[in-house]
Amino acid sequence: MKLLIRLFLLFPLILFSQTSDYIHIDQFGYRTSNTKVAVISNPQIGFNASQSFTPSTSLEVKNSNTGDLVFSGNPIPWNGGNMHTQSGDIGWWFDFSSVTLPGDYYIFDPSNNESSAIFSIKDDVYDAILIASAKMFFYNRCGKEKITPFVLNGFQDPINFSQDLIARDVYDQTNVSTEKDMSGGWFDAGDYNKYVTFAESAVHDLLWAYQQNPTVFGDNWNIPESGNTIPDIIDEIKWETDWLLKMVNNDGSTHIKIGARNFSENAASPPSSNIDTRYYAPVCTSSSIAAAGMLAHASKVFGQFTSLSTNAQALEDEAILAWNWVLPYLSSNTLQVNCDDGAVVAGDADRTILEQREMALTAAVYLFDLTGDNQYNQYIINNINNTEVINNDQWDNYNITIIDALLNYTTLSNADTNTVNTILNSANSSASNNWSNYLEFNDFDLYRAFNNDWTYHWGSNSQKANMGVLNLIFDYYQIGNTNATYKLRAKEHLHYFHGVNPLGLVYLSNMSSFGAEKSINQIYHGWFNDGSIWDDAQTSTYGPAPGFVPGGSNPTYTANTNLSPPYDQPLQKSYLDFNTGFPDNAWEISEPGIYYQAAYVRLLSRIANLNEATLSIEENTISETQIKVHPNPVNDSFKIQTDKTYAVNIFISTITGQNILHQRVLTNQNINISHLQSGIYFLNVSGNNTEITYKLVKN
């Protein structure tokens, strides 16, 4: 409709053009130097098999404001015209990467008189999308009122779940003496419960999103903390870690979750209307391990900010406390695997022994990085083989949290050399062999974002995002071939979320005001539930809040075999835009989760500011005479100035040797350190055949 109105006003002669179901593009757009490929589809199998489409021999890119033709080209049949089994479609690729002039455009098929959605080409095309999707965490804040101007009109809600201030033991429900303050944190998903173990990947993903691309995160998300000089992503993570501190007891034991006893309690919309008592579940080894890792990682990152120094110390203290509590269980092989008996509904938050040992290795890395204490280093050395990543070369999208930790360990100055080599040899072997095609761009997927068949299941969108994140991690640490197409693979996975999928659907809720022609209308969420004024973005008063990522296509859905889709569809078409409860069980398809959201936000944030230059070092050595750090002393930012552009790793450490910043950067670009305290630091610049250390003075 957006396109039709614009075309009617400007060019009534092509009024009958329609937004096509067959021309799939990123409905938000592309950065100027990005690869830009539209996918044209002709359905063969699935709910839309009765439709048929064959594109013109030449397609056009037109400026949506002037109607001018800016490019034309031929669509190329994908895979020789064979059907793509994951979608049930035949298709074509239309490459218009040569269009780089900033502006608004659409793709036009002159023979069929069909047009794509309007999209933008500009380098900040994803900035507003990043804020909208990250704002999901604010909407999911527990114990926080939603008031103007921090939320859109219609989403105001008084403070919710104040009863969490006096949560009780689920096994001693009438005993007032068991009351504890468990307030704060994020609702885990579409329900209002909060889980320690479920938060692990979300917290680590958001921390790494900031660490690996700090310049893209501003203090401008329009949340209550905006304007406090701390990036809003850090403020948002702090809301969660402040709650995690409350879940850790004085002895380091950690409660695994807090919530309702049954599905009829605290299930009303909006959140503030829920007043039933809430209960905390037992302590567990898995929750203490998860807390130790998250709190240590957060302490390391928060410690960069002077105003958070006290909080960072509290996080460190509690991380050590949680670790010390669980260490005897790790040492005696008595880890607990049945703590969560469902007395607090609904998700089973237990972890297997193997999962807990991998979580412990992750926690030990962050504790070692934070404290430099050799006891954690020794634990890593002794237990490096307690992970499938090393044992079975499972450097894949299911192991992002441990992969982050292991590769971070390889950058620590006091890491064990043999252990570092074990990690890097395993990672490089995985990159070289590329088992199961996890890495680099390939043409196996008509929609250009290949995931293996087994990754399409409940919550598949997290694995779609994780596959992009995995490739960005390998690019960041320069694992494998430095000319690998890691970045292209990651960008195409982002485009999948934005409409380059067989449904032509933006997998974010209620995004029409952000430029999406077709985004999610309904999500399964306690606040935005079926029949409420937040039910549907098209038909209810408000629809769900913008930017929520649903679980995604799920071919394992069998709740209602008469509901097709999502039942009995090709893998990528196993989705339905609905939010009805039992017996339709929409939660298996359209429920959001903080872990899906964090994976998407991490992917988006990196690509929103991803330097398109190839991050490779020329073979000649960069000598110290070729490099100038300017200015030095530095106020807010500095450059590593060289005669030509190189890619280098930089490490900034304190005079006591604590690493506080690691980035892969291009020389001659600004490096922002405004968040660092005034003082003297050491700057290590390393690349091929080069390693130089400077004294850096921060004013």
Determine the pLDDT at residue 106.
98
Determine the pLDDT at residue 656.
66
Task: Give the span between the Cα atoms of 236 and 219, in whole angstroms.
Answer: 11
Could you give the domains of the chain?
2-121 (2.60.40.10), 437-612 (1.50.10.10), 624-698 (2.60.40.3080)
Specify the DSSP element, H or E, that contains 297: helix 285-302
CB 611 within 8 A of CB 572: no
pLDDT, tens digit (0-9, with 9 covering 90-100), for 545-600: 999 999 999 999 999 999 999 999 999 999 999 999 999 999 999 999 999 999 99
Q: Which two tokens stand for residue 424?
A: 């890097």
pLDDT, tens digit (0-9, with 9 covering 90-100), for 367-418: 999 999 999 999 999 999 989 999 999 999 999 999 999 999 999 999 999 9
Share of the chain above pLDDT 70, in %: 92
CB 407 within 8 A of CB 477: yes
Residue type at 129 in one-letter notation = I
Burial of 614 by CB count in 10 Å (0-12 exposed, 13-18 middle, 19+ buried)?
Answer: exposed
Buried b (16+ CB within 10 A) or exposed e, 672-688: ebebbeeeebebbbbbb
The structure tokens 């008996």 sit at 341
* Selected residue with higher pLDDT from 616 and 591: 591
Determine the pLDDT at residue 651.
79
Residues contacting 48, CB < 8 A, separation 6+:
21, 573
| Model confidence at 58: pLDDT above 70 | yes
